[in-house]
Amino acid sequence: MGEIAVKEVKTGRDLKKFFNLPRKIYRDDPCYVEPLRMELKKMFSEKKNPFFKHAKIQSYLAYMDREVVGRITAIHNWLYNDYHKDKTGFFGFFETINDQDVVNALFSRAEDWLKSRGLEVSLGPMSFSTNDISPGILIKGFEYPPYIDMSHARPYYRELVEKAGYEKAMDVLAFRMPIHQKIDERVERLAKRVKEEKNINIRFFDPKHYERDINILRDIYNSAWKDNWGFVPMTDEEFAEAAKNFNKIKIIELAQIAEIDGNPVGFSLTLPNINEALIHMNGRLFPFGIFKFLYWMKRIKGLRLLLLGIKPEFRKRGADVMLFYYNMVEGQKLGYTEGELSWILEINTPIIKATQYVKGEEYKRYRIFQKKLD
């Protein structure tokens, strides 16, 4: 075994190596989907990503005989700690060859950085938070490509992380479901009864009143998810940036707002699975990737139910069932045939139970790990 050296990512050249490593790790994995390089650059840009107004990161590369063999990012998100009243740091963007010494060296540097900032726990992977790319390391479902904004991993990652001293903090789940299925008549009857008895209405996001509806979504999001494990509220700037990104690919009929007596109480956001296009592009949109992207975008068959939330005081009234139902109805009208519900905390029993209404099946599981820092 060669000598291992862990170095800080300092320059643009270093960052390019950081972004390039997964190509090596997954070069023989047909399920790996490389994210768009332009989106990664924007995500890591302190000027373009409002996340950095309440957080700081330090990324590292592990070298063996001058070859990059691993990477990790240490994350200090003080908005999270202010919200939860603790001293938790995070790690993310973890990728490595199957070598325990490499992993131990990466975690040692990342943990030292977290401890130097007064943090007492390392939690992850988070990239950068639960508001971004799906958290956790894939531990089930390696044979399926990830949906949009969901991560992938090598099967050996779990053991390497555990041997580095980490233990389970929480699992998050992904459910698959057939969209082309005949909708259960019981669900249809229930949705119609709830609509009439509870005066619940489902409407589409209205582009003509963009600012109004964005403010509605942000208000519901920070209310509906406020008590979730690992949640951290999005700032106005973060939500505006996320909305701008989603606006590029969202379908109006699948951005739905639930209203009771005319008052917004919940929403769902379902996106086309653009990974079905990205898997053909090697992370490059230009100069020729754009043609592949446009070609494959027309052939996407999958949808990901990314967000579905109801304000706490309006739960158990059936609005969630209606959002599930109308997502299925509109998805079928648009010609999609399959879907994923993700990600869902393993302790979110109501939503997990609700997946039965659409024949949901858990087919992927991701694990978030934690370690107390000495």
Tens digit of pLDDT at every position of the chain (374 positions): 679 999 999 999 999 999 999 999 999 999 999 999 999 999 999 999 999 999 999 999 999 999 999 999 999 999 999 999 999 999 999 999 999 999 999 999 999 999 999 999 999 999 999 998 889 999 999 999 999 999 999 999 999 999 999 999 999 999 999 998 788 788 888 888 988 888 899 999 999 999 999 999 999 999 999 999 999 999 999 999 988 888 877 899 999 999 998 899 999 999 999 999 999 988 877 777 788 888 888 899 999 999 999 999 999 888 988 998 999 999 999 999 999 999 999 999 988 988 887 889 999 999 999 999 98
Residue 374 lies in a domain: no
How many structural domains compose the chain? 2
Q: Verify that 149 and 199 share a domain, yes or no.
A: no
Of the three residues 154, 171, 188, the one that is the final residue of a domain is 171
Residue 373 lies in a domain: no
Residue 225 lies in a domain: yes
Please report which residue ranges of the chain form alpha helices under DSSP H.
12-25, 37-43, 78-84, 100-116, 157-163, 185-197, 210-224, 236-247, 275-278, 289-297, 319-333, 349-354
Residue 372 lies in a domain: no
pTM for the predicted model, two decimal places: 0.94
Q: Verify that 204 and 340 share a domain, yes or no.
A: yes
Residue 136 lies in a domain: yes
Q: Verify that 55 and 101 share a domain, yes or no.
A: yes
Of the three residues 150, 171, 192, the one that is the final residue of a domain is 171
Cα separation, 221 vs 243, in Å, equals 12
pLDDT value at residue 285? 78
Containing structural domain, residue 197: 177-365
Q: Verify that 125 and 199 share a domain, yes or no.
A: no
pLDDT value at residue 1? 60
Own/partner contacts of 28-35, CB < 8 Å, gap of 24 or more, are 29/152, 29/154, 30/145, 31/142, 31/143, 31/144, 31/145, 31/146, 31/152, 32/145, 32/152, 32/279, 33/145, 33/146, 33/152, 33/275, 33/278, 33/279, 34/278, 34/281, 34/282, 34/283, 35/278, 35/283
Q: Verify that 26 and 111 share a domain, yes or no.
A: yes
CATH classification at residue 115: 3.40.630.30
Residue 371 lies in a domain: no
User: What value, to the nearest 5°, has the Cα angle with vertex 293 and ends 288 and 296?
Assistant: 130
Q: Verify that 155 and 37 share a domain, yes or no.
A: yes
Residue 288 lies in a domain: yes
Of the three residues 171, 203, 226, the one that is the final residue of a domain is 171
Q: Verify that 115 and 194 share a domain, yes or no.
A: no
Q: Verify that 238 and 212 share a domain, yes or no.
A: yes
